[in-house]
Chains A and B, each alone.
Chain A
Amino acid sequence: SQQGEEDPQALSIQEGENATMNCSYKTSINNLQWYRQNSGRGLVHLILIRSNEREKHSGRLRVTLDTSKKSSSLLITASRAADTASYFCATGLTGANSKLTFGKGITLSVRP
């Protein structure tokens, strides 16, 4: 069963705008990760945030985690056409080498 639920399911923005994607989950987690998938290819890991962290940055990415609300958000600033992809949140229930449970995914379209 799916652990995460992202919203919105589809997002279309203009290049240069910020994109915010949200993810909710149901159980206690060890970490939450965001991945990008281009055109049905392999997934690329973007960022991982642990359950004891509240915010993390990586380049144009900012992820927040609210364990009390069981939710996370991924912000992509100054979006580019190359950011067009599907984005998935995934939760790890334990530490290293635990299996991941993926949300349904968000399709982001960035218009040039």
Chain B
Amino acid sequence: SAVISQKPSRDICQRGTSLTIQCQVDSQVTMMFWYRQQPGQSLTLIATANQGSEATYESGFVIDKFPISRPNLTFSTLTVSNMSPEDSSIYLCSVGQAGGGYGYTFGSGTRLTVV
């Protein structure tokens, strides 16, 4: 299965600033997924990132707030823009497996605290 390196693992940021989270995969993958996990909650999908096209955002998430880049088949970034304390969450990237038979691999997560 794929291995994902996600950075940073945690950060404390001032409100109004932006943070870019990076995910590097050790193999080429078609689609990458970005999730948010608010404190004590489950995972909510932010967007699906395809290489060479704009990301597809879920209801409640917009590109201006969460711009995503997908420059190649092994890398993606998620930016959390103009942060407020409500953005304090764990952010995770994920990739599926070829054939869909082995579940999905997740990055180790970025724990973001906005003060």
Contacts and interface: CB of A to CB of B under 8 A. Distances in A.
Contacts, number: 67
B75 to A, nearest CB: 17
Given A100-B45, A104-B42, A48 B102 contact: yes
Interface stretch (A11-19, A37-45, A68-76, A77-85): A37-45
Interface in A45-69: 45-48
Contacts of B15: none
Contact of A100 (B33, B90, B98): B33
A33 B103 contact: yes
Given A42-B108, A102-B42, A96 B103 contact: no
Report, nearest first, the 5 A-B pairs whose CB atoms are least far apart.
A96-B100, A45-B103, A42-B108, A97-B96, A43-B106
Contacts of B43: 43, 88, 90, 102
A33 B109 CA distance: 19
Interface in B25-66: 30-31, 33, 37, 41-45, 48
Contacts of B33: 99-100
Given A2-B42, A40-B109, A88-B43, A97 B103 contact: no
Contacts of A2: 42
A88 B100 contact: no
Interface residues of A, number: 28
Given A48-B102, A88-B42, A97 B30 contact: yes
A20 interface: no
A31 B96 CA distance: 13
B90 A40 contact: yes
A97 B100 contact: yes
Contact of B102 (A30, A45, A101, A103): A45
Nearest to A88: B42
A42 B109 contact: yes
Of listed A46, A47, A101, residue having the most chain B CB within 10 A: A101
Nearest to B30: A97
Nearest to A48: B103
Contacts of A31: 100
A98 B95 CA distance: 10
